[in-house]
Chain A
Amino acid sequence: MLDALIQGILLGGYYAILAAGLSLMFGVVRFINLAHGDLAIYGAYLVLFAVEVLGLSPWVAVASVVPVMALLGWLLQATLFARTIKGGFLLPLLTTFGLGAVLQNGMFGLFGSDTKSLGNHIGNLSWASWQLPVGISVGQLPVITFAVAVAVLGSLQLVLSFSKLGRAIRATSSDPEAAELSGIDARAVHRAAAAIAVALAGLAGAFLAMRALINPYAGPTQLIFAFEAVVIGGIGSLWGTLVGGIVLGVAQSFGATISAQGFQLAGHLVFLGVLGGRLYLAHSRNLGGWRGVLGMPALPLKSATQLKKVTSEGRS
């Protein structure tokens, strides 16, 4: 049991890397990128290509693919996403779904349908583990992934809090028009956000390929997981993606102990449960809830402002 818990928490690190980019796009650009999972897989294939064809060492390959992915994100935002975002809520979905289809089938055409993994290029790291004093062993790769996740979120936090770009990103996310009126080029900010988001997707994809087998059509499942982590943790919240990722990872990890299908099912059910719980909270606040029925004053809910934000952002 404890073993499943630890595994789940560590798995949350991977989800946080994957979900942080999705959350950033959602919060700053107000854009839902349905190709986010496919971009992660694409990043993984680029790393595989760098290792198998160019002969780079795996970590050098990851370090060189991440900036390539950032450039790709910048270009996608400049050429594709920015144009569709004016068309309301639907066009971005259609465009990124189309982009996803291009990526999936393009990868299939270029790299073939075989499942691949980076696992056999990273030596014994894919299965090596550390022994903890209480008789529990933790995999080295999951621990490294988790540490990278914390480092990535921490550096993002530093950038957002203390840099010119970070302030511009936060200002644009809060009020794009007021940001323009303060001299910020919102388009440039959106490109920067997309570059970060796609780079993080590529990094996540590399970690996925080290841990598991991937194939060209693995993206949509990863997208769902990322979206679940974002929603569970609270849309637009940076550390929320880590919390959401951990909750999702733990649920999946426990689900997997029950049955093979339980891995996905438990994650989905926790996601739907969180959504339902939030709806119920919002609903009962509107009607006064059971406290209203009993004639008691409503409690000031801590999550109230956050919840409002979620629904209003979801609408935009």
Chain B
Amino acid sequence: MTMLTVNNLVAGHGLLTAVRDVSFSVAAGEVLGIIGANGAGKTTLFRTLAGVHPASSGSIVLDGVDVTDLRPSRRVASGIAMVPEGRRLFVDMTVRENLQVAGENGRSGAWTLSTVLEALPVLAPLLDVVTGGLSGGQRQAVAIGRALMSNPLVLLLDEVSLGLSPVAIEGLYKQLAGLKGRGDTAMIVVEQDLDRAMTFSDRVICMLEGRIALEGEPQVLCKQAITDAYFGLAHGEMAHA
């Protein structure tokens, strides 16, 4: 069953077009990985899907409903939640309050404070700690928990491993793996670490200069094709050395 469909999406900053005519879809329960070099348009694509960046044209359809013109909070209510780059926690508030805020303003569903704590056990002892004082890995867990609390149909994870230690990344992906196959929630993951993205995702999209350069299942794609798409070698251009 298709959960999210993106049709011919275009988005930009002033005269720079960051997302050019991007179309793809995600099925319920599927994990879609988005890879690409810096500046390929991944973050702008995510911000446009979440509604914090306007789409110039194209449409975003969630579970049969066109959400392209909805403001971010309405999209959350419809079922798109994003873990933004840099986590963006409410730093003056406790872990419990961060989770609560998303829970009482988002969709209702299976994810509650207790199920989130069960899925992210690292948070249980930190509930009444102000998030400003947490470590990077702990903050990322709060950000993911906060997004889950709004019971998304589609969960967007933007660079969740950025700035974390290898140990923390390992722990984080263990917890994320536990979320896979739990319910119908589709996940779209932007990840810099290619190997990590390939092993975690059911399907990957490689973006280059705002377009989709390659799409397929990780086990089918050969390494050479990915490298070519990543650096744009298929277009006959040499990477700028």
Which residues of A are at the interface with B, using a C-beta cutoff of 8 A?
A: 164, 167-168, 170-171, 174-175, 177-186
Cα-based distance from A214 to B89 in the complex (angstroms): 46
List the 7 shortest-distance A-B pairs measured between CB atoms, nearest first. Answer: A183-B105, A183-B76, A178-B88, A180-B72, A183-B106, A182-B102, A174-B90
Indicate if B52 sits at the interface (CB-CB under 8 A): yes
CB distance from A85 to the nearest CB of B (A): 15
- Do A178 and B92 touch across chains, with their CB atoms under 8 A apart? no
- Which residue in chain B gives the minimum CB-CB distance to A170? B93
Q: A174-B93, A181-B72 are in contact. List 20 more A-B contacts (CB 8 A).
A: A167-B93, A167-B100, A167-B101, A170-B90, A171-B101, A174-B91, A175-B88, A175-B90, A177-B88, A179-B90, A180-B52, A180-B73, A181-B81, A181-B82, A182-B105, A182-B106, A183-B73, A183-B76, A183-B107, A183-B150
- Which residue in chain A gives the minimum CB-CB distance to B51? A180
Say whether chain A's binding surface is mostly helix, strand, loop, or mixed. Answer: helix
A179 partner residues in chain B, CB cutoff 8 A: 73, 90, 101
Indicate if B71 sits at the interface (CB-CB under 8 A): yes
CB distance from B50 to the nearest CB of A (A): 6
26 contacts between A and B (CB under 8 A): A164-B105, A167-B93, A167-B101, A168-B105, A170-B90, A170-B93, A170-B97, A171-B101, A175-B90, A177-B84, A177-B88, A178-B88, A179-B101, A181-B50, A181-B76, A181-B81, A181-B88, A182-B101, A182-B105, A183-B73, A183-B77, A183-B102, A183-B150, A185-B71, A185-B73, A186-B73
Indicate if B104 sits at the interface (CB-CB under 8 A): yes
Indicate if B146 sits at the interface (CB-CB under 8 A): yes
CB distance from A170 to the nearest CB of B (A): 6
B92 partner residues in chain A, CB cutoff 8 A: 170, 174
A181 partner residues in chain B, CB cutoff 8 A: 50, 52, 72, 76, 81-82, 84, 88
B93 partner residues in chain A, CB cutoff 8 A: 167, 170-171, 174
- Known contacts: A167-B101, A167-B104, A177-B52. The answer to whether A184 contacts B89 by CB under 8 A is no
- Known contacts: A167-B93, A167-B104, A174-B93. The answer to whether A184 contacts B73 by CB under 8 A is yes
B91 partner residues in chain A, CB cutoff 8 A: 174
Cα-based distance from A230 to B76 in the complex (angstroms): 35
**What 1/0 flags go to B94-118 for Cβ under 8 Å of A?**
0001001110111100000000000
- Which residue in chain A gives the minimum CB-CB distance to B83? A181
Cα-based distance from A179 to B72 in the complex (angstroms): 9
Cα-based distance from A31 to B97 in the complex (angstroms): 25
- Find residues 132-162 in chain B having any chain A CB closer than 8 Å to their own CB: 146, 150
- Which residue in chain A gives the minimum CB-CB distance to B100? A167
- Which residue in chain A gives the minimum CB-CB distance to B151? A183
Among A167, A175, A182, A186: residue with most chain B CB under 10 A: A182
A182 partner residues in chain B, CB cutoff 8 A: 73, 76, 101-102, 105-106, 146, 150
Choose among B81, B97, B101, B107 the residue that contacts A184 (Cβ–Cβ < 8 A): B101
B97 partner residues in chain A, CB cutoff 8 A: 167, 170
- Which residue in chain B gives the minimum CB-CB distance to A174? B90
Cα-based distance from A312 to B176 in the complex (angstroms): 36
CB distance from B147 to the nearest CB of A (A): 8
A183 partner residues in chain B, CB cutoff 8 A: 73, 76-77, 102, 105-107, 150
- Do B84 and A164 touch across chains, with their CB atoms under 8 A apart? no
A178 partner residues in chain B, CB cutoff 8 A: 84, 88-90
- Which residue in chain B gives the minimum CB-CB distance to A175? B88
- Which residue in chain A gives the minimum CB-CB distance to B76? A183
Choose among B74, B84, B90 the residue that contacts A171 (Cβ–Cβ < 8 A): B90
A167 partner residues in chain B, CB cutoff 8 A: 93, 97, 100-101, 104
CB distance from B10 to the nearest CB of A (A): 22
Cα-based distance from A183 to B104 in the complex (angstroms): 9
A170 partner residues in chain B, CB cutoff 8 A: 90, 92-93, 97
B89 partner residues in chain A, CB cutoff 8 A: 175, 178
B106 partner residues in chain A, CB cutoff 8 A: 182-183
- Which residue in chain A gives the minimum CB-CB distance to B86? A178
A184 partner residues in chain B, CB cutoff 8 A: 73, 101, 105
Cα-based distance from A167 to B104 in the complex (angstroms): 10
Cα-based distance from A177 to B87 in the complex (angstroms): 12
Cα-based distance from A164 to B89 in the complex (angstroms): 17
Cα-based distance from A182 to B106 in the complex (angstroms): 7
Cα-based distance from A313 to B112 in the complex (angstroms): 34
CB distance from A234 to the nearest CB of B (A): 14
- Which residue in chain A gives the minimum CB-CB distance to B97? A167
Cα-based distance from A167 to B76 in the complex (angstroms): 17
CB distance from B93 to the nearest CB of A (A): 6
Among A164, A168, A174: residue with most chain B CB under 10 A: A174
Cα-based distance from A180 to B53 in the complex (angstroms): 12
Cα-based distance from A167 to B107 in the complex (angstroms): 17
CB distance from A226 to the nearest CB of B (A): 24
- Which residue in chain A gives the minimum CB-CB distance to B92? A174
Cα-based distance from A181 to B9 in the complex (angstroms): 20
- Which residue in chain B gives the minimum CB-CB distance to A164? B104
Cα-based distance from A265 to B215 in the complex (angstroms): 71
- Do B101 and A168 touch across chains, with their CB atoms under 8 A apart? yes
- Which residue in chain B gives the minimum CB-CB distance to A182? B102
